[in-house]
Amino acid sequence: MSNDKKFIQAITARDENFAQWYTDVVKEAKLCDYTSVKGCLIYEPNGYAIWENIQNNLDKRFKATGVQNVYLPLLIPESLLQKEADHIEGFAPEVAWVTRGGLERLEEKLCIRPTSEVLFCDHWAKTVKSYRDLPKIYNQWNSVLRWEKTTRPFLRSREFLWQEGHTIHATAEEAKERTLMMLEVYRDFVVSDLAIPLICGRKTDSEKFAGAKETYTIEAMMHDGKALQSGTSHFFGNGFADAFDIKYLNKNNELSSVHETSWGLSTRIIGALIMVHGDDSGLVLPPRIAPTQVRVIPIAQHKEGVIEKAQEIVNTLLQANIRVDMDTSDKTPGWKFSEQEMLGIPARIEIGPKDIENNTVVIVRRDTREKITVAIDAIQTELPKIFEEIQANMYNKAEKFLNEHIDSATTLEEMITKFTNKRGFIKAMWCGSEKCEDEIKYETGGAGSRCIPFEEEHLSDTCIYCGKPAKHMVIWGKSY
């Protein structure tokens, strides 16, 4: 029986050491593995399957808004990257360079893309001529490389997978509309499919994307109270367009600049799934995103007819488009249960000789471990209902945690005390000064501005740091 508990014993308790718990879950659930290049990961089948479902679900949402997928090169000439000064300055510390091709030194260094704005702009400068060519609503699914000093699986790696959307429009109004539209696509996806509650808003100027006029964000709270920036959407205006001379003839036959947006969500969202929903037994995956929604586990499978009946159930569920697998290994039932829980599979079906005799199975929910007896003939209709209950329960539990860990403060001393004594976010007023923003982060031991929420509250008339008239209410918190 002790072997059955190996999975649980291999995981450090969340509240004992959250960082080690996270690493243990990533390892034991076989989500990814390290390589000989620091910060570059192998996405194992369990981890990559989650990303595939994220990609499939999100891509459908993109295309419903008119997005077209494209693919641009991995390498960017240095001269091209230098065209937008703010952009290159923001990414310079993270850029990796290719200086040789085979045995020869290159005439011009090539950057391995940290992001692809300049590639899209270079393409559009050559191809967009008239208002009839607009808008361009493009997205690509790809990897990027950023030479991070400190790395952690999914949360911050040097090479990571993501999607990066890039669009250009005839007017600023159209571009701003697209910027907020894509933020809403992210919000709806993360809330609906990943069961993660969010705070949405605009980044302060010091936190916005390099080269952007406005950056909007969806922020999630992890179990340790830290924020994870889970997706961003940027309004660039015509800064990039002017740098790359992207002009078009408008309806009055006059040359005009285009207005640009960019938006992205990466594999760090898998880190959010782990840290928002996971428990001391491992992953807990929402049914809408789980690669396997239910695992069938035969009990006393050596007895006549058990595996055959279990296979019938699997076939029935497959026909109902339910993602199902079956564990017929020679491991003990206790081991199989622990493994199913570690992998975060939303439910398991237990079926043995007595169940067959009674024409029933036992469905065990991963989120609550509730056992539900269901007639075999009713499994394919009852299981989707159970999935929806799991999905809703996971969101409600996470939302309750988020709400319980958001506080407010009207003085710096109160803010410092609350951050010291309680994990989470704090709402406080701010004058708009970057200096005050930096000082608040310093005084609180690293709690920076997460966003200016779309729905601001009026907590006081003055900035929490300097006492001058406040301009905005900001959500403050420590982050990954």
CATH of the domain at 94: 3.30.930.10
Which residues is 430 bridged to in the sheet? Answer: 472
- Minimum mean pLDDT range among 78-87, 101-110, 375-384, 440-449: 78-87
Region at 301 (left for phi over 0; alpha for psi -120 to 50; beta for the rest):
alpha
User: Do 339 and 212 have their domain in common?
Assistant: no
In a domain, 412, yes or no: yes
* Overall average pLDDT of the 345-368 stretch: 98
Confidence at 465, pLDDT banded by 50, 70, 90: very high
Q: The domain containing residue 347 runs over which residues?
A: 294-386
Give the single-character DSSP code of 308: H
**What is the residue-averaged pLDDT of the chain?**
96
Which residues is 452 bridged to in the sheet? Answer: 202
* CA trace torsion 120, 123, 126, 129 (10° rounding): -50
In a domain, 398, yes or no: no
In a domain, 89, yes or no: yes
Give the single-character DSSP code of 359: T
CATH number at residue 456: 3.30.110.30
C-alpha–C-alpha distance, residues 131 and 133, integer Å:
5
User: Do 366 and 453 have their domain in common?
Assistant: no
Q: Which one, of 405, 393, 399, 452, lies nearest residue 224 by Cα?
A: 405
User: Do 220 and 358 have their domain in common?
Assistant: no
Cα distance between the two ends of the chain: 38
In a domain, 123, yes or no: yes
Three-class DSSP category at 461: coil
* Overall average pLDDT of the 183-202 stretch: 98
Q: Which of 340, 355, 386 is the last residue of a domain?
A: 386
The first and second tokens of residue 262, run together, are: 């960019």
In a domain, 207, yes or no: yes
Q: What is the pLDDT of residues 364-421, one digit of tens each?
A: 999 999 999 999 999 999 999 999 999 999 999 999 999 999 999 999 999 999 999 9
In a domain, 282, yes or no: no
Share above pLDDT 70 across residues of the chain, in percent, rounded to a whole number = 98
User: Do 197 and 77 have their domain in common?
Assistant: yes
User: Do 227 and 315 have their domain in common?
Assistant: no
Three-class DSSP category at 433: coil
The first and second tokens of residue 174, run together, are: 């159209």
User: Do 69 and 216 have their domain in common?
Assistant: yes
User: Do 196 and 319 have their domain in common?
Assistant: no
60 burial level (CB within 10 Å; 0-12, 13-18, 19+)? exposed
CATH number at residue 367: 3.40.50.800
Which residues is 375 bridged to in the sheet? Answer: 360
Confidence at 224, pLDDT banded by 50, 70, 90: very high
User: Do 265 and 312 have their domain in common?
Assistant: no
The first and second tokens of residue 399, run together, are: 């939302």
Domain count of the chain?
3
User: Do 254 and 299 have their domain in common?
Assistant: no
* CA trace torsion 38, 447, 19, 420 (10° rounding): 150
In a domain, 288, yes or no: no
In a domain, 46, yes or no: yes
The first and second tokens of residue 16, run together, are: 């004992």
Q: Are 361 and 379 in contact (CB under 8 A)?
A: yes
User: Do 38 and 133 have their domain in common?
Assistant: yes
User: Do 202 and 121 have their domain in common?
Assistant: yes
Q: Which of 386, 420, 444 is the last residue of a domain?
A: 386
The pLDDT score that the predictor gives to residue 2 is 44
The pLDDT score that the predictor gives to residue 10 is 85
pLDDT at 13 over 90: yes
The Cβ of residue 435 has, within 10 Å, a number of other Cβ atoms equal to: 11
